[in-house]
């Protein structure tokens, strides 16, 4: 057990020294506004603060630590040069309200990134503002609303979403004030076009689709799907979570999509920081450009760069300023290092995934037996039926072999799903070692199932009781009243629910 930083605290100890300008007095604040009791922040000397967080870091696993095939999360190498670049004072210490002439480099970088994303997605205009993929979704749906409202077409309130979709899609639909129309998946892993045809009506505002889907499969009927939606006057929204599969190979705009969000923290290598930050720019067709968030980053006729707030039809702002600029710096640098070789990046991501698939498909169930794109979904259904071994058990056992598990229990239509995404940056030896581990685990499931049931065996903690956590909801340190564990073993009740994506 590692102490909490609050448990390392000693009254009167400190790390910081704050400048106290001589001869200045601190004005008295009105007593009714003044703080009565100081916040109980940690009190440690600096070396102990650093050691505490260093110790915590050793209890964490990143792509720097090892293979991280968390499906739909695109855990690729994060180039260190991008960290050096983003720390340049001209980027790091630039105030967002600096006058335009004092921020020309930053504005040009954003403008260039917009141009690049328009080219990669095959669309006309880009807003970098959304802070993450799911905020890009909400922004896109608000654009859809604004577009139809402007046309006086107010009956369209339904958004079609396939049953393979990320949970963010339906959650965003509700936040945009729309309703979800679910559509089924056919036996080849495409959208069921017959089901779709019945569900697209004059009340349909849009389709939200990830392509390739969360099954890692490109929808073979995409052209027909587009014609159904555009034929009905509805719009097409592309969830760019899986864009890493198709850069330079197929563009969402060319597929017929009108709005796309791009996850900069997936395809374009912004490190995900244990949960964020991310970036979720959106690219749109010309007809939707007037509604994009403000300010727009523009190049003026004289070649200078600026911010344009004068967009009368804008939906407004979805985040402060122009977006998460540090993310743009890293993604721009990443893209500039590849250039047109982004196509090769996607090809290798797809090759790596198909290689793993070929080596693993006999040991696990494969619900859709065709070549995959950048990821694929296996199932532990047979292991569960015959040996009582679940996807969760396989995932936990992989930890003992030094791998981060794949995404599990997602997509929802595949029971005991294991969703594997290797990305393009892994060498063949790592892919082979992962396959060996997965094959050994499949044998262990038959021969020594208890080994899997009790896994992991060599992580800093054993399986954790998730049910207890949700019931008791201890969500902050309680200081003197904080409960102390009595060391009695517990039943680690884990939720067989989506972990990843």
Partner 1 sequence: MSYLSLTDADREAMLATIGVDSVDAFFDQIPPGVRFDRELDLEPPLSEQELVAHLEELAARNVDTGREVSFLGAGIYDHYVPALVDAVLSRGEFLTAYTPYQPEMSQGILQAIFEYQTAICELTGMDVSNASGYDGTTVAADACYVAKHATGRAKVVVTEATNPQVRQVVKTYAVGFGLEVVEVPHRDGVTDPDELRGAAEDAACVIFQQPNFFGCLEAAPELAAAANDAEALAIAHVDPISLGLLEAPGNYGCALAIGEGQSAGNHQSYGGPHYGFLAARSEFVRRMPGRIVGETLDAAGERGYVLTLQTREQHIRREKATSNITTNQTLLALAGLVHLSWLGPQGLRETGETCLALAAYAKERLTAAGVSLAFPKQTTFKEFAVRVGRPARDAIREARAQGIHPGYALGRDYHVLDDALLVAVTEKRTREEIDRLAEVLAA
Structure tokens at 313: 């039809």
Backbone angles phi, psi at 408, to 5 degrees: -125, 160
User: In the complex with partner 1, which residue's Cβ is closer, 379 or 494?
Assistant: 494
Member of 201, 227, 313, 337 binding partner 1 (CB under 8 A): 337
Query: How big is the chain by its Cα radius of gyration, in Å?
Result: 25
CA atoms of 165 and 400, how far apart (whole Å): 31
Binding string, residues 91-120; x marks residues near partner 1 by CB under 8 A:
xxxxxxxxx--xxxxx-xx------x--xx
CA atoms of 486 and 489, how far apart (whole Å): 9
Asked if 405 interacts with partner 1 (CB under 8 A), we say yes
In three-state secondary structure terms, 159 is strand
Asked if 342 interacts with partner 1 (CB under 8 A), we say yes
CB of 379 to partner 1, least distance (A): 19
CA 339 to chain centroid, in Å, comes to 23
User: In the complex with partner 1, which residue's Cβ is closer, 55 or 448?
Assistant: 55
Asked if 175 interacts with partner 1 (CB under 8 A), we say yes
Asked if 151 interacts with partner 1 (CB under 8 A), we say no
Asked if 222 interacts with partner 1 (CB under 8 A), we say yes
Q: Which among 193-201, 220-228, 229-237, 284-292 is the span making contact with partner 1, rule CB under 8 A?
A: 220-228
User: In the complex with partner 1, which residue's Cβ is closer, 138 or 414?
Assistant: 138
CB atoms within 10 A of CB 463: 18
Q: What is the DSSP letter of 411?
A: S
Member of 199, 359, 381, 387 binding partner 1 (CB under 8 A): 359
User: In the complex with partner 1, which residue's Cβ is closer, 385 or 461?
Assistant: 461
User: In the complex with partner 1, which residue's Cβ is closer, 116 or 446?
Assistant: 116
CA atoms of 437 and 400, how far apart (whole Å): 9
CB of 425 to partner 1, least distance (A): 5
Backbone angles phi, psi at 206, to 5 degrees: -165, 165
Asked if 472 interacts with partner 1 (CB under 8 A), we say yes
Q: Judging by beta carbons within 10 Å of its beta carbon (0-12, 13-18, 19+), is residue 246 exposed, middle or buried? A: buried
CB of 175 to partner 1, least distance (A): 5
CB of 396 to partner 1, least distance (A): 7
CB of 185 to partner 1, least distance (A): 15
Structure tokens at 166: 């990320």
Residues 131-150 that bind partner 1 (CB under 8 A): 131-135, 137-138, 141-142, 145
Asked if 181 interacts with partner 1 (CB under 8 A), we say no
Whether 269 and 77 have beta carbons less than 8 Å apart is answered as yes
Residues that bind partner 1 (rule: CB under 8 A) add up to a total of: 222
Residue 494's closest CA among 453, 441, 457? 453
CB of 365 to partner 1, least distance (A): 19
CA atoms of 197 and 348, how far apart (whole Å): 35
User: In the complex with partner 1, which residue's Cβ is closer, 194 or 223?
Assistant: 223
Q: 180 - beta bridge partners?
A: 159
Residues 33-92 that bind partner 1 (CB under 8 A): 33-36, 38-44, 46, 49-50, 52-65, 68, 70, 73, 75-79, 81, 83-92
User: In the complex with partner 1, which residue's Cβ is closer, 198 or 489?
Assistant: 489
Structure tokens at 379: 């199932």
Sheet holding 376-379, edge to edge: 376-379, 417-420, 407-408
Binding string, residues 267-306; x marks residues near partner 1 by CB under 8 A:
----xxxxxxxxxx------------x-------------
User: In the complex with partner 1, which residue's Cβ is closer, 300 or 385?
Assistant: 300
Asked if 207 interacts with partner 1 (CB under 8 A), we say no
Q: Which among 198-206, 229-237, 328-336, 375-383 is the span making contact with partner 1, rule CB under 8 A?
A: 328-336
CA atoms of 343 and 189, how far apart (whole Å): 24
CB atoms within 10 A of CB 52: 18
Q: What is the DSSP letter of 370?
A: S
What interhelical angle do 325-338 and 104-121 show, nearest 10? 60
Q: Which among 191-199, 240-248, 281-289, 443-451 is the span making contact with partner 1, rule CB under 8 A?
A: 240-248
Whether 450 and 411 have beta carbons less than 8 Å apart is answered as no
Member of 207, 333, 378, 442 binding partner 1 (CB under 8 A): 333
Q: Which among 195-203, 232-240, 324-332, 376-384 is the span making contact with partner 1, rule CB under 8 A?
A: 324-332
Asked if 313 interacts with partner 1 (CB under 8 A), we say no
- State in Å, rounded, how far the first CA of the chain is from the last one: 29
Whether 431 and 369 have beta carbons less than 8 Å apart is answered as no
CB of 446 to partner 1, least distance (A): 23
The string of DSSP codes covering 171-196 is HHHHHTT-EEEEE-B-TTSSB-HHHH
Member of 29, 152, 231, 450 binding partner 1 (CB under 8 A): 29
Asked if 446 interacts with partner 1 (CB under 8 A), we say no
Q: How many CA atoms lie within 13 A of 280 on its CB side?
A: 23
Member of 360, 407, 421, 445 binding partner 1 (CB under 8 A): 407
């Amino acid at each position: 057990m590692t102490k909490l930083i609050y448990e390392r605290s000693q009254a009167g100890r400190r790390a910081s020294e704050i400048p106290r300008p001589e001869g200045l007095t601190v004005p008295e604040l009105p007593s009714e506004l003044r703080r009565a009791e100081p916040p109980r922040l940690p009190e440690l000397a600096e070396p102990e603060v650093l050691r505490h967080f260093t110790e915590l870091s050793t209890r964490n696993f990143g792509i720097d630590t090892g293979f991280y095939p968390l499906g739909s999360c695109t855990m690729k190498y994060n180039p260190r040069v991008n960290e050096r670049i983003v720390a340049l004072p001209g980027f790091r210490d630039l105030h967002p309200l600096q006058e335009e002439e004092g921020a020309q480099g930053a504005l040009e970088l954003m403008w260039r990134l917009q141009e690049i994303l328009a080219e990669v997605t095959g669309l006309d205009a880009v807003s970098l503002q959304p802070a993450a993929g799911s905020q890009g979704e909400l922004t896109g749906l608000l654009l859809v609303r604004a577009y139809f409202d402007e046309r006086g077409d107010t009956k369209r309130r339904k958004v079609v979403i396939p049953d393979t979709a990320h949970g963010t899609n339906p959650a965003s639909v509700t936040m945009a004030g729309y309703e979800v129309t679910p559509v089924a998946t056919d036996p080849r892993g495409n959208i069921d076009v017959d089901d779709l045809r019945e569900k697209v009506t004059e009340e349909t505002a849009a389709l939200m689709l990830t392509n390739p889907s969360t099954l890692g499969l490109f929808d073979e009927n995409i052209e027909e799907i587009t014609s159904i939606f555009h034929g009905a006057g509805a719009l097409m929204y592309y969830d760019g979570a899986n864009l890493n599969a198709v850069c330079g190979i197929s563009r969402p705009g060319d597929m017929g999509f009108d709005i796309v969000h791009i996850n900069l923290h997936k395809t374009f290598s912004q490190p995900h920081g244990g949960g964020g930050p991310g970036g979720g720019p959106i690219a749109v067709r010309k007809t939707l450009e007037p509604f994009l968030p403000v300010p727009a980053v523009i190049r003026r006729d004289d070649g200078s760069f600026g911010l344009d707030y004068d967009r009368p039809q804008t939906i407004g702002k979805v985040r402060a300023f122009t977006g998460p600029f540090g993310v743009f710096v890293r993604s721009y640098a990443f893209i500039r290092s590849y250039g047109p070789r982004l196509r090769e990046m996607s090809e290798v991501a797809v090759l790596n995934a198909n290689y793993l698939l070929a080596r693993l498909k006999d040991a696990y169930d494969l619900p859709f037996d065709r070549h995959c794109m950048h990821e694929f979904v296996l199932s532990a259904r047979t292991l569960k039926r015959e040996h009582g071994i679940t996807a969760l058990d396989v995932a936990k056992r992989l930890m003992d072999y030094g791998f981060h598990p794949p995404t599990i229990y997602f997509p929802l239509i595949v029971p005991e799903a294991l969703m594997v995404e290797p990305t393009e940056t892994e060498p063949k030896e790592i892919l082979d070692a992962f396959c060996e581990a997965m094959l050994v685990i499949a044998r262990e499931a038959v021969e020594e199932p208890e080994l899997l049931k009790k896994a992991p065996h060599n992580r800093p903690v054993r399986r954790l009781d998730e049910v207890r956590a949700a019931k008791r909801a201890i969500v902050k340190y309680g200081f003197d009243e904080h409960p102390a564990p009595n060391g009695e073993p517990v039943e680690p009740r884990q939720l067989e629910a989506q972990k990843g994506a």
